Amino acid sequence: MLTTRMPMPRALALGSFSLALLCLASMLLGAGEIGIGSSLQALLGKADEDARFIVLELRLARTELALLVGLALGAAGVLLQAVTRNPLAEPGLLGVSAGSSFAVVIAINLGASAAGLHLGVAMLGALIGCLLVLLVTRLRGVGDDPVRLVLAGAAFSGILGALSSLLLLWDQRTADEMRFWIIGALAGRPLDTLDWSLPGLIAGLLLALLVVRPLAALALGERVASGLGHHPQLTRLGTLLAVAILVGTATAAAGPIAFIGLIVPYIARRLIGSDIRRTLGLSMLLGPCVLLLADVVSRLLVRPYELPVGVVSAFIGAPILIAVVRSHRLPTL
């Protein structure tokens, strides 16, 4: 088991400083012709109207969305890894994000407005994905092996991804609405995205705070948790519901963005140890940091064009996944 390597106040201070720095970078850097100087003048209210619109409207909304989605995915990754006791568990790898995306694709294919019911449908799909994860963890020889569990999740994600692709090929209207959303991106989102996604984030985080103590007790074993007055099955269901709300909110807002829920808990445990009460708090800072970093990189790699942030997060997360799998001893959760 990883031991505490950094005092919690120091880790929180480091995370807060990194977050502030990345927020500033997100406001100043972009793929267009507006440079750092013009962006800084726009922040000070001295730039022309075009620069002020790009910085104070487009980049600010994008930065706020990255904060929300990163926080949701970071917290969801910690909770999912704790409830499955699997350091490889991640919403994108275990099919939770795929379930959420598939539900949205079906809804739009049936004629629903993408802006009207993304959130509820995405949460429902994520909840179904979470329940399938819980079912798989109960299968003998699968739930006990981290790699087998990820392979089962990958198979589930692959099936749902193939079905989603078939629906997109079948209906051109659905394909037009989903083409950019389905690979995960922060750019081009409606300005009211934060208005309807913020309540989902708050609800998911409140539920996460309610289950974090029972989860910490559950890590000691079901008998110990029961002896302390907790209900293991109720704790698992509450945790998966929190994950479904958080992942559904993030997916509805920005599309499926993989590996954030893997990268963030991994870094948090390396910094402060594996106690979920510590890692959850730090991950709520590190999630936005990692997503903001990926978003800034996505703007600068192929200027004057941009890469979807989901592509960049995959490039960052894949080496970490390989490192965890190839490690001689997987972290004990």
Identify the domain containing residue 130 by its residue range.
Answer: 14-326
Residue 7 within a domain: no
Q: Is residue 319 one of the residues assigned to a domain?
A: yes
Residue 2 in domain:
no
**Residue 22: its pLDDT value, please?**
95
Q: For residue 166, what pLDDT is reported? A: 82
Is 9 a member of any domain? no
> Position 283: which residue type?
S
What percent of the chain lies above the pLDDT cut of 90? 22
* Closest by CA position to 78, among listed 188, 197, 227, 209: 209
Tally of domains in the chain: 1
Say which CATH number the domain at 64 has.
Answer: 1.10.3470.10
- Asked whether residue 226 is domain-assigned, the answer is yes
Q: Identify whether the C-beta of residue 212 lies closer than 8 Å to the C-beta of residue 280.
A: yes
Output the pLDDT for position 177. 65
| Residues 239-256: tens digit of each pLDDT | 888 998 998 888 888 888
Cis? peptide before 319, omega within 30° of 0: no
Whether the predicted pLDDT of 75 surpasses 90: yes
**83 with 280: CB under 8 angstroms?**
no
pLDDT at position 70 is 94
- Residue 30 — pLDDT band, cuts 50, 70, 90? confident
Predicted confidence at residue 107, as pLDDT, reads 81
The answer to whether residue 333 sits within a structural domain is no
Let me know if residue 1 belongs to a domain. Answer: no
pLDDT, one tens digit per residue, over 217-233 is: 887 777 777 777 778 88
**Model confidence pLDDT, tens digit, residues 160-205:** 888 887 877 777 666 666 665 677 778 877 777 888 889 889 999 9
Q: Is residue 8 part of a domain?
A: no
